[in-house]
Structure 1
Amino acid sequence: MRSLLKKEDWWANWLGAFFIGGAALGLIPFIPKLPKWTVWQNALPVDLIVPILLWGVGLAAVTALALRIMGEEVRGYLKAFPAIFILAVLSYLIGNQTTLAHYGFNDVIWAIVLGMLISNLWKKPAWIIPALRTELFIKTGLVLLGAEILFTRVLSLGGRGLGVAWIIPPTLLIVMYLYGTKVLKMKSKALVATVATCTSVCGVSAAIATGAAVKAKKEEISAAISVSLIVTVIMMLGMPVLIRWMGLSEAIAGAWIGGTVDSTGAVVVAGSMVGPFAMEVAAIVKMLQNALIGLVAFAWALFFVTRVDQEPGTEKLSIKEIWIRFPKFILGFVGASLFMSFVLVPMLGQGEVEGILKVTATARNWLFTLAFVAIGLDSRFANLKEIFTGQKTVKLHLVGQAVNIILSLLASLYFFRGF
């Protein structure tokens, strides 16, 4: 029982439950969300300044309480939190510029960039270190992401959508892991797993979930995300052109885009360039892939605990030991999905639940942005250079994405012909 209140993994679940419960009960009716803007004077509306400050204070208080119960010193955390929160706000402000946002240069990229600029151009100040709670922010955000996986959405395209979204990723994961470890002979299997999942499933969210599950280094997660974001922008712009040249139907085009473009936002943009129906199909297929995050992270965690991290010649791990090492936030991810799908939707209705999810999704975005600020502040160019040496990380992603493009096209042609 003690571990339920002393472990960060469990606190990600409790914090996730707090935000979901607070939104469902109307105790957290609103979380400020910065708007898209074209003229810089509109970047930060005056009426949002106080709500953003209150949100920052509230988030600092709730997370500090969690750290306090875990037995950690919180004074340094509370002193440093405003700094990373301000960087998160700046990341949002830059990433919400309409042109930058349209081409995928969103808050995630700017959070990493701003953090890395500070840590590499100047020495990272020691006083800010207590607030760099990357895993707590990421894992709590992932639990909230699980709440967005509603089974009513999963079934909206029937077996067609599942055929594209759930058959290709497991196949690609195996191919990429074998290619990375056996052909490229990459030393870090955690990096291989993170890049493979980032490419196969859904980009940033999948990368951070898998990275947390296999205990990848922060620089490895950052490297996987960086490559993915660059390729995502290229594919977002290039795939609609290729689709028009090939003369594909909107249904097939949407399924193909949803199965290959990593970021949900980029999927919507690319789909809209083809047509409204293509955009709808693409968004649903990508959402179906998002539903795999918990299962894939669970599979990786189990594989690493029982195969990769176990010392040669040692006894087979017991069920108890596997449970101790298992990342508990995955339970929160799955539990949030089940709770929203089978408790709140029947009780409150789809429309009411969608309103709740607007609140939790905004909280998730803030937590992810804070996490990427922390990752940037913890990342050194020298360490990233080591990861990118020999360009194996880039090769793994590009080869995997090429295979993904081919397999997803074949699956889209098969499942969506005549749709």
Structure 2
Amino acid sequence: MSHENKITEHPQEIASGTFRWSDLWKKEDWLAVWIGFIIIAIGIVSTLSGVFDFSAAKFSTWGNGNSLLEQFSSTFWLHLILTAVVLGVLFTIGNELKGISFRQYLPAFTGVFVLAVLVRLISAEYTLNRYLEWAFFALAAGLLIANTIGVPKWLRPAVQTEFYIKAGLVIMGFSVLFSNIVNFGLYGLGIAWIVTPIVILFMWLFGTRILRIDNKPLVITLATATSVCGTSAAIATGAASKAKKTDLSLAVSISIIFTILMMVFEPVLIRISGLGEVMGGALIGGTVDSTGAVAVAGTALGETAQTVAVLVKSIQNILIGFIAFAVAVFFTAHVKEKNNQTDQKVTAAEIWYRLPKFIIGFFAASLIASFIVVPLAGNEAVSNINEVLDQYKNWAFVLAFISTGLDTNFREYKEQMKGGKPLVLYVVGQVFNIVLTFAAVYILLSGKFFPLPNLAL
């Protein structure tokens, strides 16, 4: 079955351009917001009260003198059961409200969750964990099934990349504190907020005018995946531009492949070049797509590099909402869709209807953490809360990556690739991104033009 035939409704599809109250509990974007908020709320209450442990399951590294069986304690099994129940119940209710029966979804979710457990277990092996993040194994597992035996019909109801990752993004919003901007000041803003829009504009012009790619949602999705934070940005922009699942899968697949390569080789090249931890960490934070990969690559250079890399990427992540909104406005006003040959006046209501609502949840979570929880409970409490929430975000993301793989059949990409143009677009765009980011890093953090920032963070 092709990807296009499996699409029954796009989260941002405009039917009538009017808001209905039922959208709040029937549309995927809003449901992702509520799921994210419920998990955040429980995480806050459990951490601050200390009455119960809401921690999700986490696999410890095994294989380097540590036995695999050591982590299978009674506490681990309780956390794993809790993780399965929390995510299973919330996503089952969400799908029931969307119109997918729990009789169809729950068995399928169980199957995908078992795959997620196996992926997390394999990726925790010492050697594999040093070089590859779990996202690679999640995608690989899904791709292996989809391109060999095929996805069983009973498993398809739970193959929902966008739903899982949108909920994960809302949870992630709680960790993106606006105080990070203050800590790194104009240095991080200059690297993350000036370079990123320029790269997006360059890739848009290069893709549509030089390569002449007709699939404009694919171009903008790939551009933002390259310049912001990979999958998260691709999901947000894909929704805003009404990209098809095949567009999203292709953009995410290309992004993940090169993210893995850059995560492994960029720290090596930085060390050889002698850039140092501050400049090297900033370069990694501005060019490696995935936040998880940024942390891993930064760690390879040192603790300071990791801090700078994650800080730059966190500041860059804040752009997701603004970019998604800008793309929604631009595509609604200026990009004519194939099935709509008539000019259409853009109204504020139509733009609102098309805006990815889960981005609102992302910002709301960030604001709650920054301006409510931090003042009331302190930074240490927020850090403890994020330790709990981070694993739920990771489980949502691993479900999403597995779904992406299960939803990806390479035979269907032949027409999309059109001589490899999307691949050329990504490579040229990423090279431009690296060069421009390096220029910004050199100007701001070499110490030759501006005083170096206080990194006692």
TM-score, normalisation: structure 1: 0.93
For 1:75 and 1:363, how far apart are their aligned partners in 2? 24
Deviates most, 106-115 or 227-236: 227-236
The residue that corresponds to 1:354 in the other structure is 383
> CA shift at 1:28, angstroms?
6.1
For 2:298 and 2:156, how far apart are their aligned partners in 1? 41
The residue that corresponds to 1:82 in the other structure is 110
Residue of 35, 40, 49 corresponding to 1:15: 35
For 2:210, give the aligned amino acid.
V
Instruction: Tell me if 1:32 matches 2:52.
Output: no
Question: What aligned pairs does 1:132-143 form with structure 2 within 5 A after superposition?
Answer: 132-143=159-170
> CA shift at 1:412, angstroms?
0.7
What SS does the corresponding residue of 1:121 show, helix, strand or coil?
Answer: coil
The residue that corresponds to 1:382 in the other structure is 411
For 2:281, give the aligned amino acid.
G
The residue that corresponds to 1:334 in the other structure is 363
For 2:247 and 2:129, how far apart are their aligned partners in 1? 25
> CA shift at 1:415, angstroms?
0.9
Instruction: Tell me if 1:299 matches 2:357.
Output: no
The residue that corresponds to 2:96 in the other structure is 68
> CA shift at 1:71, angstroms?
4.1
Instruction: Tell me if 1:45 matches 2:74.
Output: no
Contact 2:165 2:232 in 1 (8 A): no
Residue of 23, 26, 33 corresponding to 1:3: 23
Question: What aligned pairs does 1:215-294 form with structure 2 within 5 A after superposition?
Answer: 215-294=242-321
> CA shift at 1:44, angstroms?
7.7
Residue of 389, 393, 402 corresponding to 2:422: 393
Residue of 148, 154, 160 corresponding to 1:127: 154
Summarize deviations over 1:261-295 as a string: whole Å, max 9, x none: 22333333333343432232222112211221222
Contact 1:22 1:28 in 2 (8 A): no
Q: Equivalent pairs: percent with the same residue?
A: 44
Summarize deviations over 1:220-246 as a string: whole Å, max 9, x none: 223222222332333334333433444
Contact 1:294 1:334 in 2 (8 A): yes
Instruction: Tell me if 1:114 matches 2:141.
Output: yes
Summarize deviations over 1:58-94 as a string: whole Å, max 9, x none: 3211221222334432211112211010111111112
For 1:46, give the aligned amino acid.
F
Deviates most, 304-313 or 224-233: 304-313
The residue that corresponds to 1:59 in the other structure is 87
The residue that corresponds to 1:198 in the other structure is 225
For 1:322, give the aligned amino acid.
I
Gap change, CA 1:43 and 1:201, over 3 Å in 2: farther
Residue of 354, 364, 384 corresponding to 1:325: 354
For 2:303 and 2:272, how far apart are their aligned partners in 1? 18
Task: Name the count of aligned residue pairs.
Answer: 418
For 2:164 and 2:113, how far apart are their aligned partners in 1? 12
Contact 1:218 1:375 in 2 (8 A): no
For 1:347 and 1:2, how far apart are their aligned partners in 2? 34
Summarize deviations over 1:291-346 as a string: whole Å, max 9, x none: 21222222222222222255444231222222222221111111111111111111
TM-score, normalisation: structure 2: 0.86
Gap change, CA 1:269 and 1:125, over 3 Å in 2: closer
The residue that corresponds to 2:3 in the other structure is none
Gap change, CA 1:124 and 1:232, over 3 Å in 2: closer
For 1:150, give the aligned amino acid.
L
Gap change, CA 1:59 and 1:278, over 3 Å in 2: closer
Deviates most, 81-90 or 46-55: 46-55
The residue that corresponds to 2:394 in the other structure is 365
What SS does the corresponding residue of 1:294 show, helix, strand or coil?
Answer: helix
Gap change, CA 1:128 and 1:157, over 3 Å in 2: same
> CA shift at 1:387, angstroms?
2.8
Deviates most, 148-157 or 68-77: 68-77
Residue of 132, 155, 172 corresponding to 2:182: 155
CA RMSD of aligned residues (A): 2.1
Gap change, CA 1:380 and 1:316, over 3 Å in 2: same
Gap change, CA 1:74 and 1:255, over 3 Å in 2: same
The residue that corresponds to 1:93 in the other structure is 121
Contact 1:254 1:277 in 2 (8 A): yes
Instruction: Tell me if 1:180 matches 2:216.
Output: no
For 1:64 and 1:272, how far apart are their aligned partners in 2? 37
For 1:289 and 1:16, how far apart are their aligned partners in 2? 21
Gap change, CA 1:411 and 1:65, over 3 Å in 2: same
Instruction: Tell me if 1:165 matches 2:185.
Output: no
For 2:69 and 2:357, how far apart are their aligned partners in 1? 38
Summarize deviations over 1:11-67 as a string: whole Å, max 9, x none: 111111101111111166211112222259417822223421332123211221222
Gap change, CA 1:382 and 1:321, over 3 Å in 2: same
For 2:156 and 2:261, how far apart are their aligned partners in 1? 35
For 1:61 and 1:269, how far apart are their aligned partners in 2? 32
For 1:365 and 1:248, how far apart are their aligned partners in 2? 31
What SS does the corresponding residue of 1:157 show, helix, strand or coil?
Answer: helix
What SS does the corresponding residue of 1:109 show, helix, strand or coil?
Answer: helix
* Structure with the higher fraction of residues in helix conformation: 1
Deviates most, 6-15 or 263-272: 263-272
Gap change, CA 1:227 and 1:67, over 3 Å in 2: closer
Gap change, CA 1:43 and 1:388, over 3 Å in 2: farther
What SS does the corresponding residue of 1:262 show, helix, strand or coil?
Answer: coil
